[in-house]
Each structure stands twice: as C-alpha cells, then as structure tokens.
Structure 1
Amino acid sequence: MRNKVVVVLFCGPRTNSGHPSTLRITRAIEVARSERARLLIVGDAHDGADVDLFVSMAKEHGVEHVSPVRVETNLANTETNAKQVALALKEVAYRSVNTVYLVTDHWHMQRATLHLQDALTRARATQAPDIVAINVTSAIALDPSVLERERALIAKFREDTHSRGEKISSAAAN
C-alpha cells in the first residue's frame, strides 16, 4: 500500500555562500521516487523559503505526493521538527505508515533519530514506525564545534530521557 512508507527531510544547513544545501532534498527525492513514497519536508529556520524551494524541486522531479510541514522560525530545531513529524503522521493520510525514511546529514543523524523515535513513540498508542536512516554526506565544511555541539545535545537528550525514567530504543541509541 502506498501509505506504508514516508520519506522525511529536516531542512538545513546553508552553504558558506548562504544558499540552502540541496544534498538532503536531492537524496530524499531519490528515496521517495524509488520507494514510491510520500515526501514530508519538515523544518526550516529560514521563514519557509527553504521548504518552498524543496517542495518545488520535489514536484519538478516527479514526486507525486509532497507535503510541507512548516515550523515557526523561533521554534525550528531538531526536537520540534520531530514532534511536527509525529503530529503529521497522526493525520488520516499517514496513519498506516510503518516505515519512515529519515534523510539528514551524517553528523546530524543520531540526534535526529533519537528525537524522531521519541516523538513517534509518544504520539502513537500503537507501535511507532521503523526508522530507516538515509545519511547524506555534507559537502559543507564542518567546524569541529558543530560535532562537539551534536555530541553535547545527544548527551543531554540521553540524560533527560534517563531522568524521566524512560529507555531509549536500541535502534535509536546507535
């Protein structure tokens, strides 16, 4: 059934010239087409401009079902994006989804997966869909501080989860 797979894309980051990187959306379009999946484009810390561009690109490249999920600029972060995905998947068109292809940069994947698994588990009374990681290797030069920040945010997520007495799924923990 067509509703069984959804490709999810968290928008960002921008190139050194200030333009949105198209690596994530390009890979998400490839996966959406090969899996005949709906494409859910989530996020955007740039007032919706990136989401609009990515929706247009997906449609131009033949993705039949593209849905933008906009997040207020002042709330745009990985945790909020994950919660918005979980809310979107509660809509009728997405209720039968059993697999989510998460497309993001390799350095962002672990944290994005942790937040998405947490949000999906909290939002669904039944079992959350499987998450399949589709890593994108960014051409954007990363400052080592970005990786340090990611590690710190992952540690904080784990600490917060532990303090609530919850467990992290083994798939999301890796």
Structure 2
Amino acid sequence: MPVELYAAPLDFTRAEDLQAWATTWATAFEPGVFLLLKGDLGSGKTTFVQGLARGLGVAEPVTSPTFTLVQVFATKSYALVHADLYRLTPEEVWGLDLHEDWAGAIFAVEWAERLPFTPKQAICLQFLAGEQGHQVLGSSQGCIAGRILERGFLEVKPR
C-alpha cells in the first residue's frame, strides 16, 4: 500500500525566497523521485526548478522547456530531467519516454496533470500565486518521497 503524506502549505512573499527554499531542499532529493509540479502560468513552477537545479549544482541557466519539452541537466551525482507538458495531451506524453527507467535521475515535471501514469515515488507540489506572493501545497506517494517531502516542508525553513 502506498504511503501518502500531506504537508501544511508554505507561503513565499518573493520569488527569490521560493528559489532559495528549493535550493536548500535539493540536498534531500534522491534519484527515481518525480516532482509533479502543478499550477497556473506564473505560479512558480519554473522558479522552483531553477532553485532546485542550483541546489543540485547545475551551473547553466534553467528555463521552462515549453517548446523543447524536455531538458536534461547533469549534476554532481545524477541527472535532473526537466519536462514541460503544457502543450501535450496525455497520449503525446508517452512519446517522451518519461515512464522508462531513468536510473540516476530526478524528474521535475511541469503541468504534471497531463502525465498519463503515476510514478511510484512522487512529490506533488501545487503552486498558487496571489497578490501576497506564492503558496506551495505538498503531498507525496511512496516512502522515499514522503521522507523528502517531510524534510522540505518541516525541516527546511523558508525565508
């Protein structure tokens, strides 16, 4: 039976604070975990991935792969696979081979509601943007993902 964990929401008044939180939290991630990023345009999904990439040691600029669909970044220990499914149907997503065994990779999937399969180890982050800043809601499926979610929402303190 999968383990599900829900975390209390986190609030960020500035995009830089959201990035800094992701940068610090990045050290907790393990290969094989999917970050399922959901939220409207401008809600902070790419901002989060930029901070995550920085925390994993990615030196090159990270932008939303809206037109390239998938970007793969080398980190010190494994790959960061950044996908944007905004323009795709769930049927078209199968062609990206995200369901294949990418041993040694962390996945950050924007517009994850279009993902046609459920990963075994997944952290779902729901991004909400408002006049006061960004809010992030978190849930997880799987023991490893649950442990990582707990660390990010309980141990790593946002600014």
TM-score by length of 1: 0.34
Greater C-alpha Rg: 1
Q: Which has the higher helix share?
A: 1
Structure 1 or 2: more strand by fraction: 2
Normalized against structure 2, the TM-score is what? 0.36
Name which structure has the greater RCO, CA cutoff 8 Å, separation 6+: 2
